[in-house]
A and B are shown apart, each in its own frame.
Chain A
Amino acid sequence: MHDAIPTTQEVSEFLAGRRERIDAVRRSVDAALRAMRIRDADERAGLIQETLLRVLLSLRSGRFRGDASLATYAQRIARHVWLENLRRRREQVPLDPDLLPATDRWSSPEGSLLQAEAHRASLKRFHALPAPCKELLLAIFVEGLSYREVAVRLGISVMAVRLRVFRCRLAGRGAEGVAAPAKQDAAPEHRVEGDVKGAD
């Protein structure tokens, strides 16, 4: 924003519900959320509403120090809101018994130690992966992107995303090293069917 209006006036106009001021702040928030690559209009609209409400409450409670323009302040709040939303979405993963850790691991100090050790080993395996695989796992697990969104992000087809997942899984097995060799007694349908190099 390149607003020549003093910040105090911006704030009082916003609090007074002046349409032009609210629209200006809304546009700034929208720009910040677009920069976060939120392309879904409905999701963006929800985050804008949440952000404007937080801005309103923050201004009313006097938390705004006036060391930036109102638009800049609102953009910062938009980024909090986006990040909180991202974290909240991660926590809302549907409960699946297959994904639950064994409860006995949490029930004793030894169990907790084992759990922490397992986490460290998983992290080590993650760091041993090639960069494209790390990028893929972070997009899936941290950002919660769907496979279609991952395809858009990486600029490749959905099939190429699936092949990349496959390759990364193979790379992950390599990172596990000889400690966890692949099973040789798997059913025939589980054997490698062909070369997928160059797919993406």
Chain B
Amino acid sequence: MLNWGPGAGHPALLPWYVAGTLPAREARRVRAHVARCAECQRQVRDLAAQRAALLGSTRTDHPTAEELVAFTDSDPTVPADRRQSIAAHLAGCPACAHENDLLAEAAERLSAASHSERESLPPGAAAAWGRWAAVAAASIVLIAAGFVAGRTPQPPVPVPGIRALTAATFMPAHRGADEAGILTLPGPWAVTVALPFGAAAAPYRSGIRTVAGEVVVGGADAVIPDREGSVHLYLDSLPAAGEYVLVLEAVAPATETWRYPFSVVAGDVPPSGR
């Protein structure tokens, strides 16, 4: 019998080499060994065949990720015949069956975690948790931004010295934006600007210009994007309703510039929700 295990001079990492999950340096070492070892070449071919069979690479009827999640959750929107065909597929496809097991185990873990979170609260507090959380959140927002209090939307409560802050999100075109953002007068506005995927993780200097390029607001301090690749800006006021462009310029060493066209409209026009 052959030994390709530890101590025999053969890499014990062949399965990971075949799976493509070895770090580059180890992969190079294994590749060099395999190139001169007939036995390991055979093992690699066997493992590759095993992997292909496990992943069902000759099949084309794998349920999509969305379907499998819905199936695992026993979602009633999955038609009965589709449910049956997915169940039949799982019986013959180890990869999808394993994915299904992982999803089910994770759902149990998540449910247990939420349960223990509730259990850790004092008696009676669990039931009231949501109400208190809502009230606390609303209170904080009321103070900071004159927003909504309670369970139903209420008109902003004026707080002396603090003006109501309107939130808005600007998305770049290829992250789903199909129209320009809208800010409703009067300000101020808290604007979350999502940078395009792949944008430099550098500080950005922001400015507002008219469509013609005239600077309306500029000279702001540079801001650093958060971990989700968004920049958070506070815009105090804009001179008038009209069409503007928010410009984000990366501070050196990056030289990227991103432009977000938006409109400022007079009151009574509902916020864009974007």
Contact = CB atoms under 8 A, between A and B. Distances in A.
Interface of A: 1-6, 9, 12, 15-20, 31-32, 35-37, 45, 48-49, 52-53, 56-57, 60, 75-76, 79-81, 83-84, 86-87, 90, 92-94, 96, 98-99, 101, 115-116, 118-120, 122-123, 125-126, 134, 137-138, 140-147, 159, 162-163, 165-167, 169-170, 172-173, 182-183, 186, 189-194, 196
A141 B131 contact: no
A142 B54 CA distance: 8
B106 A37 contact: yes
B16 interface: yes
B130 to A, nearest CB: 4
9 contacts: A17-B169, A17-B190, A75-B110, A79-B65, A81-B65, A87-B65, A99-B45, A141-B51, A143-B102
Contacts of A172: 46, 50
A97 to B, nearest CB: 10
B55 A90 contact: yes
Contacts, number: 222
Given A163-B6, A182-B2, A2 B129 contact: yes
Contact of B3 (A16, A146, A190): A190
Contact of A142 (B10, B13, B94, B168): B94
B213 to A, nearest CB: 27
Contacts of B82: none
Interface string B191-215: 1100000000000000000000000
B273 A12 contact: yes
- Interface size band for B: 35 or more
B22 to A, nearest CB: 8
Nearest to B48: A99
Interface stretch (B133-141, B156-164, B241-249, B255-263): B133-141
Interface string B89-104: 0000011001100110
